[in-house]
Structure 1
Amino acid sequence: MELDLICRNLGVVEYSDIWDRMKNFTQTRTKDDADEIWLLEHPPLFTQGQAGKQEHLLAPGDIPVIQVDRGGQVTYHGPGQLVAYVLIDLKRLGIGVRDLVNVLENSVIQVLAKNAIDAYPKPDAPGVYVDGQKIASLGLRVRRGCSFHGLALNVDMDLTPFDRINPCGYQGLKMVDMKHLNSNVVLSNIKVQLANQLAELLGYSYPTIQQGWK
Protein backbone atom coordinates (compact mmCIF):
# COMPACT_ATOMS: atom_id res chain seq x y z
CA MET A 1 0.00 0.00 0.00
CA GLU A 2 1.54 3.30 -1.12
CA LEU A 3 0.88 6.13 1.31
CA ASP A 4 1.15 9.87 0.85
CA LEU A 5 2.71 12.23 3.35
CA ILE A 6 0.22 14.40 5.24
CA CYS A 7 1.51 17.86 6.08
CA ARG A 8 -0.50 20.07 8.45
CA ASN A 9 -0.25 23.82 8.98
CA LEU A 10 -1.43 24.32 12.56
CA GLY A 11 -0.59 27.95 13.36
CA VAL A 12 0.28 28.84 16.95
CA VAL A 13 -0.40 25.91 19.31
CA GLU A 14 0.14 25.43 23.05
CA TYR A 15 2.98 22.99 23.65
CA SER A 16 1.12 20.68 26.03
CA ASP A 17 -1.73 20.24 23.55
CA ILE A 18 0.51 19.26 20.66
CA TRP A 19 2.66 17.02 22.87
CA ASP A 20 -0.42 15.05 23.93
CA ARG A 21 -1.51 14.72 20.30
CA MET A 22 1.93 13.50 19.23
CA LYS A 23 2.04 10.84 21.93
CA ASN A 24 -1.49 9.67 21.18
CA PHE A 25 -0.90 9.58 17.42
CA THR A 26 2.29 7.55 17.86
CA GLN A 27 0.75 5.14 20.36
CA THR A 28 -2.38 4.40 18.31
CA ARG A 29 -1.18 4.61 14.69
CA THR A 30 -1.20 1.48 12.55
CA LYS A 31 0.93 0.37 9.60
CA ASP A 32 -1.83 1.68 7.33
CA ASP A 33 -1.68 5.23 8.69
CA ALA A 34 0.20 7.82 6.62
CA ASP A 35 3.24 9.61 7.98
CA GLU A 36 2.60 13.21 9.00
CA ILE A 37 4.52 16.45 9.44
CA TRP A 38 3.03 19.14 11.70
CA LEU A 39 4.17 22.70 11.05
CA LEU A 40 3.49 25.23 13.79
CA GLU A 41 4.69 27.84 16.24
CA HIS A 42 4.53 27.80 20.03
CA PRO A 43 3.87 30.55 22.56
CA PRO A 44 7.02 31.34 24.58
CA LEU A 45 8.37 28.43 26.66
CA PHE A 46 11.50 26.46 27.45
CA THR A 47 11.52 22.70 26.98
CA GLN A 48 13.97 20.50 28.85
CA GLY A 49 14.84 17.23 27.11
CA GLN A 50 15.58 13.89 28.75
CA ALA A 51 19.27 14.70 29.06
CA GLY A 52 18.53 18.17 30.42
CA LYS A 53 20.39 19.49 33.45
CA GLN A 54 19.00 22.14 35.77
CA GLU A 55 22.28 24.07 35.61
CA HIS A 56 21.57 25.02 32.00
CA LEU A 57 18.44 26.95 33.04
CA LEU A 58 20.17 30.20 33.97
CA ALA A 59 17.23 32.56 34.57
CA PRO A 60 13.96 31.39 33.00
CA GLY A 61 11.99 34.06 34.85
CA ASP A 62 8.37 34.31 33.72
CA ILE A 63 8.77 31.93 30.77
CA PRO A 64 7.40 28.43 31.59
CA VAL A 65 9.71 25.41 31.66
CA ILE A 66 8.34 22.00 30.62
CA GLN A 67 10.15 18.69 31.10
CA VAL A 68 9.57 16.60 27.97
CA ASP A 69 10.40 13.15 26.58
CA ARG A 70 12.51 14.14 23.55
CA GLY A 71 16.26 13.76 23.38
CA GLY A 72 18.59 16.63 24.07
CA GLN A 73 18.90 19.47 26.53
CA VAL A 74 17.06 22.75 27.03
CA THR A 75 15.86 25.02 24.23
CA TYR A 76 13.47 27.90 23.70
CA HIS A 77 10.34 28.04 21.56
CA GLY A 78 8.46 31.19 20.63
CA PRO A 79 6.56 33.01 17.88
CA GLY A 80 8.51 33.33 14.65
CA GLN A 81 10.23 29.99 15.15
CA LEU A 82 9.05 27.32 12.70
CA VAL A 83 8.61 23.96 14.41
CA ALA A 84 8.26 20.80 12.33
CA TYR A 85 7.16 17.68 14.19
CA VAL A 86 7.92 14.56 12.14
CA LEU A 87 5.64 11.59 12.81
CA ILE A 88 7.36 8.98 10.68
CA ASP A 89 7.12 5.18 10.66
CA LEU A 90 10.87 4.56 10.50
CA LYS A 91 10.51 0.81 10.23
CA ARG A 92 8.21 1.10 7.22
CA LEU A 93 10.58 3.49 5.45
CA GLY A 94 13.55 1.29 6.31
CA ILE A 95 15.53 4.08 7.98
CA GLY A 96 17.08 4.56 11.40
CA VAL A 97 17.19 7.48 13.81
CA ARG A 98 20.53 8.69 12.47
CA ASP A 99 19.07 8.68 8.95
CA LEU A 100 16.15 10.81 10.13
CA VAL A 101 18.51 13.25 11.86
CA ASN A 102 20.37 13.59 8.56
CA VAL A 103 17.09 14.25 6.74
CA LEU A 104 16.12 16.97 9.21
CA GLU A 105 19.51 18.68 9.11
CA ASN A 106 19.87 18.48 5.33
CA SER A 107 16.31 19.73 4.76
CA VAL A 108 17.06 22.84 6.83
CA ILE A 109 20.42 23.35 5.11
CA GLN A 110 18.75 23.19 1.69
CA VAL A 111 16.02 25.63 2.72
CA LEU A 112 18.65 28.03 4.01
CA ALA A 113 20.60 27.69 0.76
CA LYS A 114 17.47 28.67 -1.19
CA ASN A 115 17.49 31.84 0.90
CA ALA A 116 21.18 32.65 0.31
CA ILE A 117 22.29 31.41 3.75
CA ASP A 118 25.25 29.05 3.95
CA ALA A 119 24.78 26.55 6.78
CA TYR A 120 26.22 23.26 8.00
CA PRO A 121 25.68 20.47 10.58
CA LYS A 122 28.10 19.42 13.30
CA PRO A 123 28.79 15.70 13.80
CA ASP A 124 29.16 16.09 17.57
CA ALA A 125 26.28 18.53 18.17
CA PRO A 126 22.99 17.87 16.31
CA GLY A 127 21.43 20.88 14.67
CA VAL A 128 22.26 23.40 11.96
CA TYR A 129 24.77 26.24 12.26
CA VAL A 130 25.76 29.44 10.45
CA ASP A 131 29.19 30.89 11.19
CA GLY A 132 29.30 29.18 14.58
CA GLN A 133 25.80 30.31 15.55
CA LYS A 134 22.93 27.86 15.86
CA ILE A 135 19.89 28.43 13.67
CA ALA A 136 18.00 25.13 14.06
CA SER A 137 17.71 22.63 16.92
CA LEU A 138 16.71 18.95 16.83
CA GLY A 139 15.13 16.63 19.36
CA LEU A 140 13.48 13.28 18.67
CA ARG A 141 11.78 10.38 20.42
CA VAL A 142 11.07 6.98 18.91
CA ARG A 143 8.32 4.68 20.13
CA ARG A 144 6.96 1.54 18.46
CA GLY A 145 9.39 2.15 15.58
CA CYS A 146 7.90 5.60 14.93
CA SER A 147 9.31 9.07 15.52
CA PHE A 148 7.81 12.14 17.08
CA HIS A 149 9.08 15.60 18.10
CA GLY A 150 11.38 17.05 15.43
CA LEU A 151 13.11 20.34 14.63
CA ALA A 152 12.84 24.04 15.42
CA LEU A 153 14.10 26.56 12.83
CA ASN A 154 14.61 30.17 13.93
CA VAL A 155 13.00 32.21 11.16
CA ASP A 156 11.98 35.66 12.44
CA MET A 157 11.82 35.74 16.22
CA ASP A 158 12.90 37.42 19.44
CA LEU A 159 16.16 35.67 20.29
CA THR A 160 16.73 37.30 23.70
CA PRO A 161 15.09 34.45 25.72
CA PHE A 162 17.97 32.20 24.60
CA ASP A 163 20.17 34.37 26.86
CA ARG A 164 18.31 32.90 29.85
CA ILE A 165 19.63 29.38 29.16
CA ASN A 166 22.67 27.52 27.89
CA PRO A 167 21.06 26.55 24.56
CA CYS A 168 21.19 22.79 24.04
CA GLY A 169 23.51 22.61 27.06
CA TYR A 170 26.31 24.69 25.51
CA GLN A 171 27.50 27.65 27.54
CA GLY A 172 27.97 30.74 25.40
CA LEU A 173 26.35 29.25 22.29
CA LYS A 174 24.92 32.08 20.20
CA MET A 175 21.64 31.71 18.36
CA VAL A 176 20.64 33.38 15.12
CA ASP A 177 17.54 33.52 12.95
CA MET A 178 17.03 33.71 9.20
CA LYS A 179 15.72 37.28 9.26
CA HIS A 180 19.02 38.55 10.65
CA LEU A 181 20.81 36.93 7.70
CA ASN A 182 18.32 37.71 4.94
CA SER A 183 15.82 40.54 5.46
CA ASN A 184 13.56 39.20 2.69
CA VAL A 185 12.65 36.03 4.58
CA VAL A 186 8.91 35.39 5.13
CA LEU A 187 7.85 32.60 7.48
CA SER A 188 4.93 31.42 5.32
CA ASN A 189 7.32 30.84 2.41
CA ILE A 190 9.84 29.02 4.59
CA LYS A 191 7.06 26.74 5.79
CA VAL A 192 6.32 25.55 2.26
CA GLN A 193 10.00 25.17 1.41
CA LEU A 194 10.70 23.11 4.53
CA ALA A 195 7.69 20.86 3.96
CA ASN A 196 8.84 20.20 0.39
CA GLN A 197 12.44 19.46 1.38
CA LEU A 198 11.43 17.10 4.19
CA ALA A 199 9.09 15.24 1.85
CA GLU A 200 11.73 14.95 -0.88
CA LEU A 201 14.45 13.62 1.43
CA LEU A 202 12.01 11.14 2.99
CA GLY A 203 11.17 9.83 -0.49
CA TYR A 204 7.71 11.37 -0.85
CA SER A 205 6.26 13.65 -3.51
CA TYR A 206 5.75 17.27 -2.50
CA PRO A 207 2.77 17.41 -0.14
CA THR A 208 -0.28 19.61 -0.16
CA ILE A 209 -0.23 21.50 3.12
CA GLN A 210 -3.52 21.04 4.93
CA GLN A 211 -4.90 23.70 7.26
CA GLY A 212 -5.61 22.35 10.74
CA TRP A 213 -6.67 18.81 11.63
CA LYS A 214 -9.12 18.12 8.77
Structure 2
Amino acid sequence: MQPLVKHLGMIDYQNAWQEMRQFTDVRNAATRDEIWLLQHPPVYTQGLAGKPEHLLHAGNIPIIRTDRGGQITYHGPGQIIAYLLLDMRRWKLNVRGLVRLMEQAIINLLASFDISAQGRAEAPGVYVGDEKIASLGLKIRSGYCYHGLAFNVNMDLAPFSSINPCGFSGLRITQAKNLGIEVSQTRLETLLAQNLIYLLQQQEPEKITRSCKP
Protein backbone atom coordinates (compact mmCIF):
# COMPACT_ATOMS: atom_id res chain seq x y z
CA MET A 1 0.00 0.00 0.00
CA GLN A 2 1.43 3.38 -0.98
CA PRO A 3 1.84 6.07 1.68
CA LEU A 4 -1.08 8.34 2.52
CA VAL A 5 -0.30 11.88 1.36
CA LYS A 6 -1.57 14.73 3.54
CA HIS A 7 -1.47 18.40 2.50
CA LEU A 8 -1.51 20.18 5.86
CA GLY A 9 -0.84 23.84 5.06
CA MET A 10 0.97 26.09 7.55
CA ILE A 11 1.86 24.37 10.84
CA ASP A 12 3.99 25.53 13.76
CA TYR A 13 7.25 23.56 13.81
CA GLN A 14 6.96 22.48 17.43
CA ASN A 15 3.45 21.13 16.86
CA ALA A 16 4.42 19.22 13.72
CA TRP A 17 7.44 17.73 15.48
CA GLN A 18 5.31 16.59 18.41
CA GLU A 19 2.73 15.04 16.09
CA MET A 20 5.44 13.16 14.17
CA ARG A 21 6.83 11.70 17.38
CA GLN A 22 3.36 10.73 18.60
CA PHE A 23 2.57 9.04 15.27
CA THR A 24 5.83 7.09 15.48
CA ASP A 25 5.31 6.15 19.14
CA VAL A 26 2.00 4.40 18.51
CA ARG A 27 2.54 2.91 15.04
CA ASN A 28 3.19 -0.76 14.35
CA ALA A 29 3.91 -3.06 11.42
CA ALA A 30 0.31 -2.69 10.18
CA THR A 31 0.26 1.13 10.27
CA ARG A 32 0.02 2.80 6.87
CA ASP A 33 2.96 5.07 6.06
CA GLU A 34 2.30 8.77 5.55
CA ILE A 35 3.89 11.72 3.76
CA TRP A 36 3.02 15.13 5.20
CA LEU A 37 3.36 18.17 2.95
CA LEU A 38 3.29 21.51 4.74
CA GLN A 39 4.97 24.84 5.50
CA HIS A 40 6.34 26.33 8.69
CA PRO A 41 6.32 29.90 9.99
CA PRO A 42 9.89 31.30 10.20
CA VAL A 43 12.09 29.12 12.41
CA TYR A 44 15.68 27.93 12.70
CA THR A 45 16.10 24.26 13.58
CA GLN A 46 19.31 22.82 15.01
CA GLY A 47 19.96 19.10 14.50
CA LEU A 48 21.54 16.69 16.97
CA ALA A 49 25.02 17.38 15.60
CA GLY A 50 24.38 21.12 15.42
CA LYS A 51 27.09 23.48 16.62
CA PRO A 52 26.00 26.83 18.11
CA GLU A 53 28.67 28.74 16.19
CA HIS A 54 26.78 28.06 12.94
CA LEU A 55 24.07 30.45 14.11
CA LEU A 56 25.55 33.84 13.24
CA HIS A 57 22.59 36.05 14.09
CA ALA A 58 19.08 34.86 14.95
CA GLY A 59 17.30 38.20 15.14
CA ASN A 60 13.63 37.66 15.99
CA ILE A 61 13.42 34.18 14.48
CA PRO A 62 13.04 31.40 17.08
CA ILE A 63 15.59 28.59 17.34
CA ILE A 64 14.52 25.03 18.14
CA ARG A 65 16.88 22.19 18.96
CA THR A 66 15.35 19.12 17.41
CA ASP A 67 16.06 15.39 17.18
CA ARG A 68 16.83 15.08 13.47
CA GLY A 69 20.31 14.57 12.15
CA GLY A 70 22.38 17.40 10.72
CA GLN A 71 23.24 20.98 11.55
CA ILE A 72 21.22 24.20 11.40
CA THR A 73 18.76 25.23 8.71
CA TYR A 74 15.93 27.69 8.17
CA HIS A 75 12.27 27.02 7.44
CA GLY A 76 9.74 29.62 6.37
CA PRO A 77 6.71 30.34 4.19
CA GLY A 78 7.26 29.49 0.54
CA GLN A 79 9.23 26.34 1.33
CA ILE A 80 7.77 22.85 0.86
CA ILE A 81 8.36 20.57 3.83
CA ALA A 82 7.89 16.86 3.15
CA TYR A 83 7.87 14.75 6.30
CA LEU A 84 8.25 11.04 5.59
CA LEU A 85 6.77 8.77 8.25
CA LEU A 86 7.87 5.41 6.94
CA ASP A 87 8.51 1.86 8.04
CA MET A 88 12.07 1.44 6.75
CA ARG A 89 11.80 -2.34 6.80
CA ARG A 90 8.67 -2.29 4.68
CA TRP A 91 10.54 -0.52 1.91
CA LYS A 92 13.83 -2.38 2.51
CA LEU A 93 15.67 0.93 2.96
CA ASN A 94 18.63 1.90 5.09
CA VAL A 95 19.38 5.52 6.01
CA ARG A 96 21.73 6.12 3.10
CA GLY A 97 19.22 4.65 0.68
CA LEU A 98 16.42 6.87 1.96
CA VAL A 99 18.64 9.97 1.78
CA ARG A 100 19.47 9.17 -1.84
CA LEU A 101 15.80 8.53 -2.59
CA MET A 102 14.75 11.92 -1.20
CA GLU A 103 17.50 13.64 -3.16
CA GLN A 104 16.48 11.83 -6.34
CA ALA A 105 12.84 12.86 -5.92
CA ILE A 106 13.89 16.54 -5.99
CA ILE A 107 16.36 15.93 -8.83
CA ASN A 108 13.63 14.26 -10.90
CA LEU A 109 11.14 17.04 -10.14
CA LEU A 110 13.60 19.71 -11.27
CA ALA A 111 14.51 17.67 -14.37
CA SER A 112 10.85 17.85 -15.42
CA PHE A 113 11.43 21.61 -15.73
CA ASP A 114 14.72 21.07 -17.63
CA ILE A 115 16.82 22.00 -14.61
CA SER A 116 19.87 19.87 -13.86
CA ALA A 117 20.49 19.19 -10.16
CA GLN A 118 22.60 16.77 -8.16
CA GLY A 119 23.31 15.48 -4.68
CA ARG A 120 26.65 15.48 -2.90
CA ALA A 121 27.99 12.50 -0.99
CA GLU A 122 29.86 14.72 1.46
CA ALA A 123 26.96 17.13 2.05
CA PRO A 124 23.46 15.59 1.75
CA GLY A 125 20.91 17.75 -0.01
CA VAL A 126 20.18 18.84 -3.57
CA TYR A 127 22.22 21.42 -5.45
CA VAL A 128 21.83 23.36 -8.67
CA GLY A 129 25.40 24.20 -9.56
CA ASP A 130 26.95 25.50 -6.35
CA GLU A 131 23.64 26.58 -4.80
CA LYS A 132 21.56 24.44 -2.47
CA ILE A 133 17.83 24.13 -3.14
CA ALA A 134 16.82 21.35 -0.73
CA SER A 135 18.03 20.14 2.67
CA LEU A 136 17.47 16.80 4.41
CA GLY A 137 17.26 15.53 7.98
CA LEU A 138 15.97 12.28 9.46
CA LYS A 139 15.29 10.55 12.74
CA ILE A 140 15.14 6.74 12.87
CA ARG A 141 13.51 5.04 15.82
CA SER A 142 12.94 1.27 16.03
CA GLY A 143 13.03 1.00 12.25
CA TYR A 144 10.60 3.89 11.68
CA CYS A 145 11.65 7.28 10.30
CA TYR A 146 10.30 10.79 10.57
CA HIS A 147 11.41 14.31 9.56
CA GLY A 148 12.37 14.50 5.87
CA LEU A 149 13.21 17.27 3.41
CA ALA A 150 12.78 20.99 2.81
CA PHE A 151 12.51 22.26 -0.78
CA ASN A 152 12.88 26.00 -1.39
CA VAL A 153 10.18 27.27 -3.74
CA ASN A 154 9.29 30.96 -3.35
CA MET A 155 10.49 32.30 -0.02
CA ASP A 156 12.48 35.07 1.62
CA LEU A 157 16.03 33.70 1.48
CA ALA A 158 17.51 36.46 3.66
CA PRO A 159 17.38 34.44 6.94
CA PHE A 160 19.81 31.92 5.45
CA SER A 161 22.47 34.65 5.54
CA SER A 162 22.32 34.61 9.35
CA ILE A 163 23.47 31.00 9.57
CA ASN A 164 26.02 28.66 8.07
CA PRO A 165 23.40 26.54 6.28
CA CYS A 166 23.81 22.88 7.20
CA GLY A 167 27.14 23.82 8.80
CA PHE A 168 28.80 25.21 5.65
CA SER A 169 30.08 28.77 5.78
CA GLY A 170 29.23 30.79 2.69
CA LEU A 171 26.95 28.16 1.19
CA ARG A 172 24.66 29.84 -1.33
CA ILE A 173 20.95 29.06 -1.35
CA THR A 174 18.56 29.11 -4.28
CA GLN A 175 14.89 28.32 -4.90
CA ALA A 176 12.52 27.22 -7.63
CA LYS A 177 11.33 30.76 -8.40
CA ASN A 178 14.89 31.94 -9.04
CA LEU A 179 15.29 29.10 -11.53
CA GLY A 180 12.26 30.22 -13.53
CA ILE A 181 9.74 27.70 -12.17
CA GLU A 182 6.45 29.59 -11.99
CA VAL A 183 3.91 26.85 -11.22
CA SER A 184 1.99 26.96 -7.95
CA GLN A 185 3.37 25.58 -4.72
CA THR A 186 0.39 23.23 -4.53
CA ARG A 187 1.32 21.77 -7.91
CA LEU A 188 4.93 21.33 -6.81
CA GLU A 189 3.77 19.56 -3.64
CA THR A 190 1.81 17.12 -5.79
CA LEU A 191 4.75 16.50 -8.12
CA LEU A 192 7.10 15.97 -5.18
CA ALA A 193 4.74 13.45 -3.57
CA GLN A 194 4.38 11.60 -6.87
CA ASN A 195 8.16 11.38 -7.26
CA LEU A 196 8.67 10.19 -3.69
CA ILE A 197 6.01 7.48 -4.02
CA TYR A 198 7.30 6.34 -7.41
CA LEU A 199 10.82 5.91 -6.05
CA LEU A 200 9.58 4.16 -2.93
CA GLN A 201 7.66 1.69 -5.05
CA GLN A 202 10.85 0.81 -6.91
CA GLN A 203 12.18 -0.54 -3.60
CA GLU A 204 9.58 -3.32 -3.52
CA PRO A 205 11.15 -6.48 -4.98
CA GLU A 206 7.86 -7.88 -6.28
CA LYS A 207 7.11 -4.69 -8.22
CA ILE A 208 10.61 -4.54 -9.64
CA THR A 209 10.25 -8.17 -10.78
CA ARG A 210 6.88 -7.53 -12.40
CA SER A 211 8.17 -4.47 -14.22
CA CYS A 212 10.92 -6.57 -15.80
CA LYS A 213 8.45 -8.95 -17.43
CA PRO A 214 7.48 -8.34 -21.09
- Give the TM-score normalised by the residue count of structure 1: 0.93
Equivalent-residue separation in structure 2 for 1:80 and 1:117 (angstroms): 19
Equivalent-residue separation in structure 2 for 1:199 and 1:77 (angstroms): 23
The residue that corresponds to 1:212 in the other structure is none
The 5 Å alignment of 1:164-175 reads 164-175=162-173
Q: CA deviation at 1:93?
A: 1.7
Contact 2:101 2:196 in 1 (8 A): yes
The residue that corresponds to 1:89 in the other structure is 87
Secondary structure of residue in 2 paired with 1:93: coil
The 5 Å alignment of 1:18-29 reads 18-29=16-27
Contact 2:11 2:39 in 1 (8 A): yes
The residue that corresponds to 1:4 in the other structure is 2
The residue that corresponds to 1:56 in the other structure is 54
Contact 1:86 1:150 in 2 (8 A): yes
Alignment: residue pair count: 202
Gaps of 5+ in 1: 205-214
Secondary structure of residue in 1 paired with 2:193: helix
Percent of residue pairs identical? 49
Quick one: which amino acid aligns to residue 101 of structure 1? V
Equivalent-residue separation in structure 1 for 2:118 and 2:20 (angstroms): 28
Is 2:129 the partner of 1:150? no
Contact 1:49 1:70 in 2 (8 A): yes
Equivalent-residue separation in structure 2 for 1:118 and 1:185 (angstroms): 18
- Give the TM-score normalised by the residue count of structure 2: 0.93
Contact 2:113 2:181 in 1 (8 A): no
Which one has more relative contact order, counting CA pairs under 8 Å at least 6 apart? 1
Cα RMSD after superposing both structures: 0.9
Map Cα deviations across residues 72-123 of structure 1 (whole Å, 9 max, x no partner): 0000000000000000100122111111111100000000111222100001
Runs of 4+ residues over 3 Å off in structure 1: none
Equivalent-residue separation in structure 2 for 1:184 and 1:16 (angstroms): 30
Equivalent-residue separation in structure 2 for 1:117 and 1:80 (angstroms): 19
The residue that corresponds to 1:211 in the other structure is none
Q: CA deviation at 1:182?
A: 1.1
Secondary structure of residue in 1 paired with 2:90: helix
Quick one: which amino acid aligns to residue 148 of structure 2? G
The 5 Å alignment of 1:167-186 reads 167-186=165-184
The 5 Å alignment of 1:101-112 reads 101-112=99-110
Map Cα deviations across residues 174-210 of structure 1 (whole Å, 9 max, x no partner): 0000000114232111101000000000008xxxxxx
The 5 Å alignment of 1:35-74 reads 35-74=33-72
Contact 1:117 1:182 in 2 (8 A): no
Gaps of 5+ in 2: 203-214
Map Cα deviations across residues 109-151 of structure 1 (whole Å, 9 max, x no partner): 0001112221000010000001100000000000010110000
